[in-house]
Structure 1
Amino acid sequence: MAEHRYRVDVVWTGATTDHRSYSRNHEVLATGRPPVRGSADPVIGRGDPERWNPEQLLLASLSQCHMLWYLHLCADAGIVVVDYLDQAEGVMNSQQFEQVTLRPRVTITDGDRAEQARALHTQAHQRCFIANSVNFPVNHEPDIRTE
């Protein structure tokens, strides 16, 4: 299997004079892309609620990876997807994520292929690099609709 490498820069400036007062705000940068404005979770890490936190970004990565594989598999199978919305949710205790549940609502054009479209979520999960890299369950509750 080919090796793929990814690089991001996480940039923070400030002064850590005391753990209550320093800014958690930072930027995630990658060549040729707009910056992601990051911070800590405001509830547990004194972060800025208007910025993305690492927990949200992990959840987004799982959801995106699943969606991209799912769309690929549907295209290969000739299933036309016209809308996809995932309302993903993660549950974390004080130390780690316990589970993530993806809830993709998918609209396809051919109702006769709804069960096949539902089954492709299992294959998408098996192929998702991010889901294969985490140590907690990633569950799926797909809702297949017809246009």
Structure 2
Amino acid sequence: MTPMPRLHTHTYATTVTWTGNLGTGTSGYRDYRRDHDITAEGHPLIPGSSDPTFRGDPTRWNPEELLLTALSQCHMLAYLHLCADNGIVVTAYVDHATGTMTTDNTGSGHFTEALLHPQVTVADPDTVEAATTLHDDAHRVCFIANSVNFPVRHRPVTRAT
């Protein structure tokens, strides 16, 4: 009989503070800004807003970008951990992730997919194939990818220095 894995609980706390009151609150759809600040103890402030399509400030992060960023970060961190555990030396990593969201005429919407495009450089040419394969394992253990209800795919490119 296989023993049950022990579960560990991790708790996170953030604060989102709306800063977009122009003096009349939400008296009308066009009468307020979507600006807000995202903070957590010990971290720098992240300026947030809504997507410009929804009257947001294009110079601030929106929730959709932050969700896609969380998926990309989680995959990268899981991947780098697996590479270190498997003796693969990664010297560079960049991911130009994309995500697709659909909305309907009621204003509701959801992500339909996220696609990660990790570009990885490894020190040893003999590890390129193994390094590429580890993306599948990183996807399986990524906390954020395991928490969303839409497909998260990856198309890695691995090269040696």
Could you tell me how far apart the structure 2 residues matched to 1:75 and 1:126 are?
17
Question: TM-score, with normalisation over the residues of structure 2?
Answer: 0.89
How far off its partner does 1:93 sit? 0.7
2:145 alignment counterpart:
131
- 2:15 aligned with 1:39: no
Instruction: Structure 1 unaligned segments of length 5 or more: list them.
Output: none
1:65 alignment counterpart:
74
1:20 alignment counterpart:
30
How far off its partner does 1:68 sit? 0.2
Could you tell me how far apart the structure 2 residues matched to 1:107 and 1:39 are?
34
Instruction: Structure 2 unaligned segments of length 5 or more: list them.
Output: 1-6, 104-108
Question: TM-score, with normalisation over the residues of structure 1?
Answer: 0.98
How far off its partner does 1:17 sit? 1.0
CA deviation digits over 1:117-145, x for unaligned, max 9?
01100010000000000000000000001
Give the stretch that moved more between structures: 62-71 or 10-19. 10-19
Indicate the percent of aligned positions where both proteins have the same amino acid.
54
1:83 alignment counterpart:
92
Is the helix fraction higher in 1 or 2? 1
CA deviation digits over 1:32-65, x for unaligned, max 9?
111110000001x100000000000000000000
Matched residues, number: 146
